[in-house]
Structure 1
Amino acid sequence: MTLLTPPLEITAEEYRTRRERLCGLLAERSLDAIVVYGPVRVAYLSGFFFSATERPVALLLTAEGEVHLLLPRLELSHVQQQCPELNNIEVYEEYPGGGSGRHPMQVLADLMRRLGLAGRRIGADLDGYEHRWGYRGPALSAVLGQPVQADVALVDDLRSVKSEAEVALMREACRWGDHAHRVMQQMIREGADELAVSHAASQQATRDLLADLGKRYVPKAREGMPANAMFIRGANTAHPHGLHQAGAVTAGDVLVTGAYGVIGGYESELERTMLVGDPDPRFRQYFEAMLAAQQVGFDALRPGRTCAEVESEVQRFIRDELDMANLIRHHTGHAFGLEGHEHPFLDLDDHTVIQPGMVFSIEPGLYVPQLGGFRHSDTLVVTAQGSERLSLYSRALDDLLIPV
């Protein structure tokens, strides 16, 4: 007898639970409804993943738990396919009106009036749809003719603590991020082109993922691949977000890599500092310093502390123990999940209290002009006692050398 394995995605039951938790926040703030525009927030609350364009999509949730979706007609069959349990759908023909003379925000305002929400206390993640792809439109408060309490934290604070199901998806994403990096490392050699290797490794790792997971893998985007790897090289790595450069890998190049998986819409993060050839004492000095600083971050990440306290501990170590404060270019890390960067941040000015279930990158970097960047990044989930590393790729220098 063959046992059926579930698809790697969040269940409809968990989406309902998320909306119930949001309703609890509405009650705490005495709000009668909330309008959510952000595409990732809409997906988080409904399971409807879509390609965001100039055509507004909005999720309306009442304090009683009634959910409505505002959609362009071209998305109607799509939402019915993904979320058959969501039946309250308000469709507009096209943006900016498709000949109707009604802007989509007017359609939304009319819906809210029909639901008896005119003049009630309304919250929103944003006071109107995001201005993307040429979109122009009025604020929600303007079409309603009343104030709106806009606060992205209403939804994003819920997103910051991951459920067991979310962590499981991110753990699987880390497995494939590790695999993509391994494939890429095997392809890197002296004379190779960084762009060609990055794309080839991502394609091969994606083929491996699809073959292994089969129908359990459920894509949640129109673009990109579920397993990805890339690197930049040489002195260009001294820029924390250096762009790709044309040309060949050369002996002595410092490499800063990035690899990630995407499973059920959830991402992982893995970055490594590598070297083409044998390390000299100067490279070893900075590599070992970076590795020690990252370990301080690992040890500092635990529940009950604030993000600022973690960052302060890492910066203090780099300043006082390493005497390398001048090489810092960014904070120690960030949360992530459905997006590559999410709130909160391991930063001196972020005083969010760390809780079990939060997922962070730990990636303190040291950037040496004319030599290169030194940065490992790993995915960690906060546990009741401390944290657990989900990205398991080797951090050791001997495992990160490209032979010449």
Structure 2
Amino acid sequence: MDVSTRVDRLREEMRRQEIGLALILGHENMFYYSNYKAIIYSRQIIITVDEKRVSAIVPGLEEDHAKAHATVDQVLVYYEHPEKVAQGGSYQYFLDGMLAELPKGARVGVELGAIPMGMALYIQNQGFTLCDIGTFIQHERYIKSAEEIAMMEKAGDLVSKAMAASLEQVRPGVTEMDMDQFGNALIMEETPRLYPGATLDIFVMSPGGLARTNMPHVFSNTRKYQENEIVLHSRQVGLDGYRAEIERTFFLGKPSDKQREVFRVMTEAQQTMLDGIRPGMTAGEADALGRRVIQKAGLGEYSNHRCGHGIGLGLHEEPYLRFDNDLVLEEGMSFSIEPGIYIPELGGFRHSDTVILTKGGSRKITQCKRELEELIF
């Protein structure tokens, strides 16, 4: 991705807020401004931006990775082995140097939701003022560029194929983890063929049965699927950082009449949102498209989460489609549309598809069977 325009816009915001130095610490935001997808455990990594340069402060074990992939002006490396520790043994070695270039009392931009408390106090105790840039970055990420959308479309194609592969092989007696692996195997085969050298992220869960499908987020385990039960299969694929999501509820054997009715309400709610979401409405109004269908059926109390969320670099990201969000939606925003219904004696029901908002509505970038009779195995 060309990150130079993003950096230019960040610098404009820094000038507006009179910020002398910006520290980017959230891993998705680091990638957004540098193309550097860091693996972060216990060692601090920072992307810094000032008026003259963009820098990556990294530990020694990330040196080659950062120099090969980070779109920055300089890579500053701190070491934790005696042969090179004199060149800097902590990220603070380089941070101190940058702070020393600022006048006392200068403003330092940080993501308030990402900066460690210790680092925040360390900077403040030296007389600098912290200012939030996280909200600005969040808003920048709302609207996807043509290049970002193209990558999400590729992820959408992969995740749709993986969903189809899993559904083709499901049967009583396979485990939830088997279900995950059916689609994962296709992704692992297709990605190097279609996108050699690409990075890949996979998130998947496949709970089965009344109790486990009622948990909207639960990891797959070794439980075997039984005859005549409900399954909720959820997938995300990230290709070079950009994600798409698809989810399907299906049945092994004949669903009960009550399950058929709840499934009908769920799919009607999702289709109403897919048909109706568009730029100019608020996020709360988009949520209401699906929620009203569920409430009209008398099932509102069983729909216990928002009806959709932003998706892109993050599995879940702003904007969130929830009842009290007054944000006005814009062309180029991307969402997972996923109204859900969870009834203890019947199971959990949720379909999800990824859409890009267009000038007159939305375009779905995930495709798979969705009607009840297609999803009885």
TM-score, normalised via structure 2 length: 0.91
- 1:308 is matched with 284
Task: Verify the 8 A CA contact 2:247 2:351 in the aligned structure 1.
Answer: yes
- Aligned to 2:4, the other structure's residue is in SS state helix
Q: Which amino acid aligns with 1:374?
A: F
Alpha-carbon distance in 2 for matches of 1:352, 1:117: 37
2:371 corresponds in structure 1 to 396
Note if contact 2:166-2:183 (Cα within 8 Å) is conserved in structure 1: yes
Mapped partners of 1:147, 1:127: distance in 2: 16
1:165 is paired with a residue of what secondary structure?
helix
Match of 2:142 in 1: 160
The change in CA–CA distance for 1:312 and 1:17 in structure 2 (over 3 A counts) is same
Shift of 1:226: 4.6
Question: Could you say which residue in structure 1 is the equivalent of 2:247?
Answer: 271
Q: Which amino acid aligns with 1:380?
A: V
Find the aligned partners of 2:310 and 2:301 in 1 and give their Cα distance: 25
Question: Counterpart in 2 of 1:261?
Answer: 237
Name the CA shift for 1:242/1:76 in 2 (closer, same or farther; >3 Å): closer
Does residue 1:331 correspond to 2:306, yes or no? yes
Q: Is the 8 A contact 2:278 2:360 kept in 1?
A: yes
Quote the Cα distance in structure 1 between the aligned partners of 2:256 and 2:343.
15
Superposed CA offset, 1:101-134 (max 9, x none): 9773532432223533543222111387448xxx
Question: Given residue 315 of structure 1, which amino acid in structure 2 is its aligned partner?
Answer: R
TM-superposition CA deviations, 1:135-184 (whole Å, max 9, x none): x6563533542221134212121111110110110011010001111111
Residue 181 to residue 302, structure 1, CA distance change in 2 (3 Å): same
* Cα shift at 1:58: 1.0
Counterpart of 1:106 in structure 2 is 92
Distance 1:117 1:392, change over 3 A: farther
Native 8 Å contact 1:330 1:365 kept in 2: yes
Equivalent position amino acid for 2:229 in 1: D
Code of the residue aligned with 2:102 in structure 1: it is G
Q: Quick one: which of 26, 30, 44 aligns to 2:14?
A: 26
- 2:105 corresponds in structure 1 to 119
Deviation of 1:393 after TM superposition, in Å, equals 1.2
Q: Which residue of 2 aligns with 1:298?
A: 274
| Residue deviations 1:275-323 (CA, integer Å, cap 9, x gap) | 111233222101110011112222332111111121233323321x212
Correspondence for 1:218:
198
Among 59, 66, 76, the alignment partner of 1:90 is 76
Residue identity matched to 1:22: L
Contact 1:294 1:376 in 2 (8 A): yes
Deviation track 1:231-258 (CA, whole Å, cap 9, x = no partner) reads 1111110121234343321121101011
- The alignment-based identity, stated in percent, is 27
Q: 1:75 aligns with which of 53, 62, 77?
A: 62
Distance 2:248 2:142 in 1: 25
Please give the alpha-carbon distance, in whole angstroms, between the structure 2 residues aligned to 1:44 and 1:140: 26
User: Residues 121, 205 of structure 1: CA spacing in aligned structure 2 closer, same or farther, 3 A cutoff?
Assistant: closer
User: Paired residue for 2:160, among 134, 159, 178?
Assistant: 178
Closer, same or farther in 2 for the Cα pair 1:15/1:322, shift >3 Å? same
**Letter of the structure 2 residue corresponding to residue 264 of structure 1:** D
Q: Is 1:287 paired with 2:263?
A: yes
Report the aligned-residue RMSD: 2.4
Cα 1:398–1:104 change in 2 (3 A) is: same
Q: C-alpha distance in 2, partners of 1:127/1:298?
A: 32
| CA displacement 1:39-61 (0-9 Å, x = unmatched) | 11111101011101211111111
Whole-angstrom distance in 2 between the partners of 1:143 and 1:99: 25
- Secondary structure of the equivalent of 1:279? coil
| Residues 1:370 and 2:345 aligned together | yes
Asked if the contact 1:202/1:228 (under 8 Å) is kept, the reply is no
Distance 2:312 2:100 in 1: 36
Q: What SS does structure 2 have at the residue aligned with 1:43?
A: helix
Any conservation in 1 of the 2:26–2:114 contact (CA below 8 Å)? no
CA distance in 1, matches of 2:177, 2:113: 40
Aligned partners of 1:184 and 1:229 also within 8 Å: no
Secondary structure of the residue that 1:329 maps to in structure 2?
Answer: coil
- Name 1:222's counterpart in structure 2: none
What SS is found at the alignment partner of 1:232? Answer: coil
Paired residue secondary structure (2:348): strand
Query: How many matched pairs?
Result: 374
* C-alpha separation in 1, matches of 2:18 and 2:218: 46
Change (3 A) 1:140 1:309: farther
Note if 1:380 corresponds to 2:368.
no
The whole-number CA distance in structure 1 between the counterparts of 2:319 and 2:113 is: 22
Whole-Å separation in 2 of the counterparts to 1:174 and 1:75: 30
* Contact 1:206/1:226, CA 8 A, preserved across alignment: no
Contact 2:66 2:75 in 1 (8 A): no
- For structure 2, the residue ranges without an aligned partner over 5 or more in a row are none
